[in-house]
Amino acid sequence: MTKKVDIDWANLSFSYMKTDFRYVAKWKDGKWDEGKLVEDNMLTISEASTALHYGQQCFEGLKAYRTKDNKIQLFRPDENAKRLNRSCDKLLMPNFPVERFIDACMQVVKANEAYVPPYGTGATLYLRPFLIGVGDNIGVKPAPEYLFCVFCVPVGPYFKGGLTPVNFVISESFDRAAPYGTGGAKVGGNYAASLEAHKVAVDNGFADCIYLDPKTHTKIEEVGAANFFGITHDNKFITPKSPSILPSITKYSLLHIAKEYMNLETSEGDVLVEDLDQFKEAGACGTAAVITPIGGIEYRGKLHVFHSETEVGPLTRELYDTLYGIQFGDVKAPEGWIYEVK
Ligand SMILES: *Cc1c(COP(=O)(O)O)cnc(C)c1O
């Protein structure tokens, strides 16, 4: 009786497709309703919603993976739930309980089970939870009502032909966030602020731009919408630490893997642009691609190449294979990282 969908799994990209069900919960008069799955993919909200005018909204991104024995699993959804609530705190929006967040994701995956790509294709079901301020309001203040929703789309693997390094350019004319702004929250405003910088980088032949710390412009913060890590010549895994960086769950997972699975020393701290020579490998990390190996970084007209512009370095490869293996159930996960969808 299981529904079948006609999708060419091998050629999926990262684009929107309407799936059958999405989850919607409403907050009004100080509380969330019980929430439900709906078929309609359109939202009807007040034209005066704070999400539309004042950027009062935040979102998350996570994936459901099909394993070799045909189970479906989520990777650390509790971390997404907690991060969503930290974003909500920052924008004065009500929290959505962690247990309910995980349950909503599970419900959406189950209801759209036919869209979870088969094991071995590298494709996954991408989940997009979001929380927005709605209701009638015109002054600059928190909304009177909120919606929490989760929808899903099947997406292809980021790298179709295997891990390929790409080049990035350091942005000195754009910041994605202010020193004490919303950089650490997963909010749409940061993305609006990044569109132009991204376009300029791409127009100049780079995959994306690298943002420096907004205060001194001397330290690496983010690689487009992904976190940065580097591996030093003496095998240390180093990643920047700053309140204006979005704390990537992939990044913290890689930190753990570097330490516990690969016996590398790890640290979070300043990564000065002038110290790029300390790294033999570097990468960008996030849910979408897991790891994007960084071939080179251009700074003030000079391209700094790490391992190679064409081949992924061995430690970056091992980090990638281990995390990818954990996510698809082929490598033993640390306690509590995997939630089976039943
Ligand atoms: C979502 C996001 C990331 C990656 O976070 P993951 O939890 O690893 O997916 C990195 N940087 C920014 C700006 C983001 O919005």
What would the pLDDT profile of 267-281 be if each residue is shown by its tens digit?
A: 999 999 999 999 999
| 34-38, 146-150, 157-161, 308-312: segment of lowest average pLDDT | 157-161
Residue nearest to atom 5 of ligand 1 (CA): 248
The answer, yes or no, to whether residue 287 has pLDDT greater than 70, is yes
- Residues annotated as catalytic are 186
Structural domains of the chain, with CATH: 9-155 (3.30.470.10), 166-327 (3.20.10.10)
Q: Where are the alpha helices (DSSP H) in the chain?
A: 50-53, 77-90, 98-111, 188-192, 195-203, 249-260, 314-327
At 162 the pLDDT is 78
Pair of tokens at residue 33? 């309703």
Residue nearest to atom 10 of ligand 1 (CA): 226
CB-CB contact of 244 with 211 (8 Å):
no
Ligand 1: nearest atom to the Cα of 253: 8
Query: Tens digit of pLDDT for each residue in 134-148?
Result: 999 999 999 999 999
Pair of tokens at residue 53? 């005018």
In sequence order, the 6+-apart residues with CB closer than 8 A to the CB of 134 are: 45, 46, 49, 50, 51, 143, 145, 146, 147
- Mean pLDDT, rounded, for 295-316: 96
Pair of tokens at residue 95? 């929290």
Instruction: Say how many Å lie between the CA of residue 208 and the centre of ligand 1.
Output: 14
Q: How confident is the model at residue 158 (pLDDT cuts 50, 70, 90)?
A: confident
Residue nearest to atom 12 of ligand 1 (CA): 225
Pocket mutation for ligand 1, best pick of 83, 90, 227, 251 (most atoms within 8 Å of C-beta): 227
Query: Tens digit of pLDDT for each residue in 239-252?
Result: 999 999 999 999 99
- The pTM score is 0.97
Instruction: Please report the sign of the dihedral spanned by the C-alpha atoms of residue 212, residue 128, residue 285, residue 8.
Output: negative
The answer, yes or no, to whether residue 155 has pLDDT greater than 90, is yes
| Distance from C-alpha of 131 to C-alpha of 88, rounded to nearest angstrom | 8
Instruction: Say how many Å lie between the CA of residue 215 and the centre of ligand 1.
Output: 21
CA-to-CA dists, residue 201 to 60, 121, 234, angstroms: 25, 31, 31
Residues in the ligand 1 pocket, defined by CB under 6 Å: 61, 186, 222, 225-227, 246, 248-251, 286-287
Instruction: Say how many Å lie between the CA of residue 243 and the centre of ligand 1.
Output: 14
| Region at 167 (left for phi over 0; alpha for psi -120 to 50; beta for the rest) | beta
At 320 the pLDDT is 97
Ligand 1: nearest atom to the Cα of 186: 15
